[in-house]
Amino acid sequence: MAEHGSIFRAMLQEFDDAARLLELDPGIWKILTQPKRQIIVSCPVQMDTGEIEVFTGYRVQYSITLGPAKGGIRYHPDVTLDEVTALAAWMTWKCAVAHIPFGGSKGGIICDPTRMSRRELEALTRRYIAEIIDAIGPEKDVPAPDVNTNDQVMAWVMDTYSMHVGHTETAVVTGKPIELGGSLGRREATGRGVMIVAREATKHLGLDISRATVAVQGFGNVGAVSADLTARTGAKVVGITDWKGGVYNAKGLDVAKMLAYTQEHKTVEGFPGGEPLTNEQLFTLEVDVLIPAALENQITVANAGAIRAKIVIEAANGPVTPDANNILQARGIFVVPDILANSGGVTVSYFEWVQDRYGYFWEESEVNARLEKKMHEAFHDVLQTSLRYNVDMRTAAYIVAISRVGTVTRLRGMYA
């Protein structure tokens, strides 16, 4: 994401670099750099006080060329149309890199969910879905959880849509509770995908992940699962930080015990199995693999020169700014970009949609095996493109994505 200014312009900067190398047709270039549809809605809600508040909601469908649009819904005070548009574009490229038949979308509501009751959140969710009801559906646009939304919110989305169409439609949304048609393995999918690409990246560089050292920033769902599954490969996770603090142990942290500790304390800070560690210190650790799994814009021009890892796996969305990415590349650090590294989540969301569509559900082992296959293929598609064009993995991922969406756009032709 951008360090300053428009997030969408930052996305276009990454797009343009790849499109030039592809010698993309100018007409296709114009099509792929404009969102297909931007929806702005007003959502009046009666609050618990009896007063009426009107919230602004967005749904951007960037592309539906490869299939139904796919993307989360976030609730946050700082949601903007520019942000939602950029995120919808990134979802388009992420789905294309993962080689799944979805386009890209994103939704958001300007609100502070921490100050709202459960009843108010339900009322807001249902009104928002009612306002965009004509634009979503299993064959149109399939929402999912994002910042400050969860499986309960997705259950309300499914129920609201189902009430409008007159029958239960589980495939309208992913990230649902298992009881409502959710997929086994979905919660761990993003972190599992991160582990898979970390393993493949170390292999490419001639390292053995079972002997690798790893540092992880962020211990939410993605960071915790990434750390846990990477540790299970035999890797030594030496540093972990979260929103409050961190822990370092050169001999390796007991990630399983940390998971239990954070259940009780809600932070890794104070974990007795190591010494205190700050985010700034984590980024300077001499490790084989660094996994930023927290927020965007964590590695910037201010600290990119201090990174000592051989590999950076972008588990979060946009943790490395474009300018910082250039510094890391110049220093020979192998960066696996977010649109590849964290695509495990949307891949298993696709599996959930497939299972809902034909009403038959897979065992978790089958979900994980299918995810392993898709992530392995996606990583090596991008790696081979990187070697063929002699470019970094981020540019290669965009080349793969733009080529796939652009080819289908050309084959489908122009409707007039």
The CATH number covering residue 147 comes to: 3.40.50.10860
Question: Does 106 participate in catalysis according to the annotation?
Answer: yes
Q: Looking at the structure, do residues 49 and 158 belong to the same domain, yes or no?
A: yes
Domain-terminating residue out of 177, 207, 226: 177
pLDDT in tens, 291-319: 999 988 899 999 999 999 999 999 998 89
- Per the prediction, the chain carries an average pLDDT of 95
Q: Looking at the structure, do residues 227 and 282 belong to the same domain, yes or no?
A: yes
State the average pLDDT over residues 328-332. Answer: 96
State the average pLDDT over residues 15-36. Answer: 95
Q: Looking at the structure, do residues 359 and 391 belong to the same domain, yes or no?
A: yes
Residue 21 domain flag: no
Q: Give percent above pLDDT 70 in the chain.
A: 99
Domain-terminating residue out of 144, 159, 177: 177
Confidence (pLDDT) at 295? 82
How many separate domains does the chain show? 2
Confidence (pLDDT) at 9? 87
State the average pLDDT over residues 16-30. Answer: 95
- pTM to 2 decimals? 0.94
Which structural domain range is residue 172 located in? 35-94+102-177
pLDDT in tens, 335-372: 999 999 999 999 999 999 999 999 999 999 999 999 99
Closest CA to 89 of 410, 401, 413, 380: 401
Residue 17 domain flag: no
Q: Looking at the structure, do residues 85 and 205 belong to the same domain, yes or no?
A: no
| 300 in Cβ contact with 321 (< 8 Å) | yes
Confidence (pLDDT) at 1? 41
Confidence (pLDDT) at 415? 86
Exactly one of 70, 106, 176, 236 is catalytic; which is it? 106
134 CB burial (10 A radius; 0-12, 13-18, 19+): exposed
Domain-terminating residue out of 177, 201, 224: 177
Residue 13 domain flag: no
pLDDT in tens, 192-229: 999 999 999 999 999 999 999 999 999 998 999 999 99
Q: Looking at the structure, do residues 160 and 264 belong to the same domain, yes or no?
A: no
Banded pLDDT at 251 (limits 50, 70, 90)? very high
Find residue 276's DSSP bridge partners: 247
Residue 377 domain flag: yes
Q: Looking at the structure, do residues 376 and 235 belong to the same domain, yes or no?
A: yes
